[in-house]
Amino acid sequence: MKRSFVIFCTALIFVFTAAQGFAAMPSITPVIEKAMTTLQVIQADRNFLVLTNATAVMTDGKSSLPILEQVQEATGAIVGKGNLLFFQRAQDAPLRIMLFKKSDRSAVIISADNSKWAVDTLDFAPKTVSDPNFWKDAKDKYAAGKDLFTLATLANAWAEGAPYDFLKSAELHNHICPGLTSGYLMAHFILDHYPLGKGQKYTIISSPVWCKEDAFQVVMDQTPGKRGLVVKPLSEEQKEKISIPNPAGMVLIWDQKLKKGKGVALSFDFNTLKGLYPKETPKAASILYTASYLSSPDKFVSVAKEFDLDETMFNAIREAGGNPWEPAGLTTP
């Protein structure tokens, strides 16, 4: 009797421990419903946004898509309505789901946190995100602290009516900063002023490198994998040697059949962009000032030089910088 009791207890402890170890997240639906009540929004309302990294991150070691399905069903937010956005994160990053109301910019952020849902209720109103004090302790103060910059910038860009291709660029870059904005403006400058003729293709030489590269990929479909985007970091010394003002990159327009093309060196004027907002503005608030200029690339981007390309020059610009395997000692003499 005594022995069987011990076995029973051992088994019970084992089952209990195993259950704890493999505990799945509880259903998110009631948490979402509560958030909607807090924000006073209803399903049919397009004026609230759902922003999540559910398409990128794993939850309990599994795809987060089933959770996203519940979120979509409970909120009614869908991509086609423009009120469901995603942001990129590493697969082991915690799941975040934010509900954000346009009118007063209040937000409820739900985070996966050790088999439970952690909920932050706050606002990203201009007054809040423009206050440097808010950002000082935000990382530690909120469960979603590490993603607050991402969530605040994307939500405010959406609330300010930023174009969808800008929001898509921000999804990939996972935040909005003056650097990403410069890439978006450059991409549209190129599309506006240098539309491709028949048989032509773009190669963007993005050098020096800053956040802008992610906008070229989304707006222009010029990606490194398809060789449409060549990303070349430069040393300070290399940067100083560039002879054009505010160098931001080059676009090469190449005709493979005719074996000739045109190169355009572009300048980006950060002084004008940063001149749009007061000096002490936190980075997260800059989008509040720059959003209305996203359709005015000519205000910030200019042509520093145009030049003709032959095949030797085209290849030399794309391939310049030497073979990276050489300094690694992995080439034969």
**By CB under 5 A, residue 35 contacts Zn ion:** no
Q: Report the alpha-carbon distance of residue 168 to residue 183 in Å, rounded.
A: 13
Binding residue (CB under 5 A) for Zn ion from 172, 211, 231, 234: 211
Q: Is 326 helix (H, G, I), strand (E, B) or coil?
A: coil
Candidate ranges 80-88, 103-111, 134-142, 177-185; the one touching Zn ion (CB under 5 A): 177-185
Q: Which residue is nearest to Zn ion (CB)?
A: 211
Contact present, 77 and 70 (Cβ < 8 Å): no
Check binding of 179 to Zn ion (CB under 5 A).
yes
Any contact of residue 177 with Zn ion (CB under 5 A)? yes
The answer to whether the beta carbons of residues 299 and 272 sit under 8 Å apart is: yes
Nearest to 195 by CA among 163, 220, 223, 231: 220
Question: 270 with 178: CB under 8 angstroms?
Answer: yes
Least CB distance from residue 25 to Zn ion, whole Å? Answer: 31
Question: Would you count residue 249 as binding Zn ion (CB under 5 A)?
Answer: no
Q: How far is the CB of 271 from Zn ion (least distance, A)?
A: 18
Whichever of 93 and 304 has its CB closer to Zn ion, that residue is 93
Shortest reach from residue 222's CB to Zn ion, in Å: 18
Provide the minimum distance between the beta carbon of 179 and Zn ion in the complex, in angstroms, as a whole number. Answer: 5
Which of 189, 253, 180 lies closest to 213 in space, CA to CA? 180
E-state strands within the chain: 48-52, 58-59, 62-63, 84-86, 96-101, 106-113, 116-123, 200-206, 229-231, 247-255, 260-268, 301-310
In the complex with Zn ion, which residue's Cβ is closer, 201 or 274?
A: 274
Would you say 134 or 184 has its CB closer to Zn ion?
184
Residues touching Zn ion, count (CB under 5 A): 4
Q: How many angstroms separate the CA atoms of 54 and 95, rounded?
A: 6
Q: Copy the structure tokens of residue 106.
A: 């209040």
16-24, 99-107, 204-212, 228-236 -> range binding Zn ion (CB under 5 A): 204-212
Nearer of residues 74 and 170 to Zn ion, judged by Cβ: 170
Tell me the window of 32-40, 176-184, 275-283, 312-320 that interacts with Zn ion (CB under 5 A).
Answer: 176-184
Q: Site residues (CB under 5 A) for Zn ion?
A: 177, 179-180, 211
